[in-house]
Amino acid sequence: MKDFQESLIDRFIRYAKIDTPVDISMAGKQRPTNPAQLNLSRLLTSELEEMNIPVFSNEEGFVIGKIPAKGTGASLDPIAFMAHIDVTDAAPNTNVKPQVIRSYDGNPIVLGHNITIDHPDLQQYIGTPIITSDGSTLLGADDKAGIAIIMTLVEYLFHHPELEHGAFEVVFTPDEEGGDGMSGFPIEHLDAHYAYTLDGGAIGGVTYECYNAYTASITFKGVSYHPGDARGRMVNPISMAAAFINLLPRNESPEATDGYFGCYWPDDIKSQGEYVTLKVHIRDHDNTIAIRRMEALHAYARAVESSFPNGSISVDIHEAYRNMREEVDKMPIVMQRVYQAMNVIGVTPIIYPTRGGTDGARLTQMGRPCPNLFTGAHNIHARSEWLAIDAAYKAFQILIEMIKA
């Protein structure tokens, strides 16, 4: 099995070096948002075909490989393992230069560009391989670690045709970081009864609860006048937007909450002439409270309108994804399969709610429950991102146990 740890390292480095940035400005306009993502989806398609795996892929960047059951594995439910191709734009994300520390020594890891990694989880990986960037960019372990783990599983089966196992699919998706990738997911090509994203963090992490997520697009319309003639006439839409933002409870912001506490998250603002548009995300594990937050946004809009005569505000809210727990709970086998595999490998499950969402949340809405499993990625979305290979390798071993007959 040691050879497959090396394969996992090699695969991750190869994938991390391929630029696959998301382009948030193109979310909902084209898929993938950045055509560069297709370079990795095409490579994965080619690698699967070289291992004799039937593949569906398209020019939107989706890849679905189908591995049929073998022997007594035919009695198992077909499942899928999923990871996303794109990387976030929250940090520099192109020309990634992975650095491999073959045997971590327990000290803070000093990278270039004044980046130091000193994370408490590092201490459990002394003497094992760690991968970082060179400090100039993120690493891209979110989610190329997931891709490498899944592809190493396929490679393992290619070299061990004697293993009896259930049918499963490997699924790679674009634009997870843009929030709209799964809108184009070709669900008709997926046979799995349920699935698992490989898009988590620390070893043992399992997530089957996420936010109920909504996004509000709020438009402030003012009245334009030359400032010399503005008295009693001008309505400044920027001032309207500022007044609105100040009504959002500061103690219900992302930076002031954790665990199961929800939040309002102002995320983007643009001004053009008489109009200002503001994007506010609503996040809560309890959908009843999320609905109250939506009602509050409408109330804040009316309050600001009353303070700016002749100005107007429109609030348009759409659903992004829903908490997957209710659907996962309806099918106990989904989590049982995870726990049984972890027990065999000797990994203790750490169950926690995620304060975000994954493609799995969207797939769950499509009728295929899809919790999220760990990959060993840490400090994601940052230049200090790092990947614990020992954790990633255990995730690979867990996937083997999950498909075994």
C-alpha to C-alpha distances, 367 to 180, 210, 263, 336, 361, nearest whole angstrom? 18, 16, 27, 19, 10
C-alpha to C-alpha distances, 169 to 49, 85, 193, 213, nearest whole angstrom? 14, 16, 11, 28
CA 339 – CA 364 distance, rounded (Å): 19
What does the angle CA 270 – CA 274 – CA 280 come to, to the nearest 5 degrees?
35
Is residue 176 annotated as part of the catalytic site, yes or no?
yes
- The answer to whether residues 401 and 136 touch, using CB atoms and an 8 Å cutoff, is no
Single-letter code of the amino acid located at 205: G
Which residue's structure tokens are 């971590």?
104
CA 278 – CA 11 distance, rounded (Å): 41
Q: What is the bridge-based pairing of β-strands 194-198 and 79-84?
A: parallel
Q: Could you say which of 23, 47, 86, 284 is catalytic?
A: 86
- The answer to whether residues 369 and 331 touch, using CB atoms and an 8 Å cutoff, is yes
What is the radius of gyration, based on Cα positions, of the chain? 23
What does the angle CA 332 – CA 149 – CA 58 come to, to the nearest 5 degrees?
90
Other CB atoms within 10 Å distance of the CB of residue 340: 14
CA 132 – CA 237 distance, rounded (Å): 44
For 389, residues 6+ apart whose C-beta sits below 8 A from its C-beta are: 5, 8, 9, 128, 129, 130, 131, 376
Q: What is the bridge-based pairing of β-strands 116-117 and 212-221?
A: unpaired
CA 353 – CA 263 distance, rounded (Å): 15
SS3 79: strand
Q: Could you say which of 60, 155, 176, 327 is catalytic?
A: 176
Is residue 188 annotated as part of the catalytic site, yes or no?
no
- The answer to whether residues 289 and 275 touch, using CB atoms and an 8 Å cutoff, is no
As annotated, the active-site residues are 86, 176
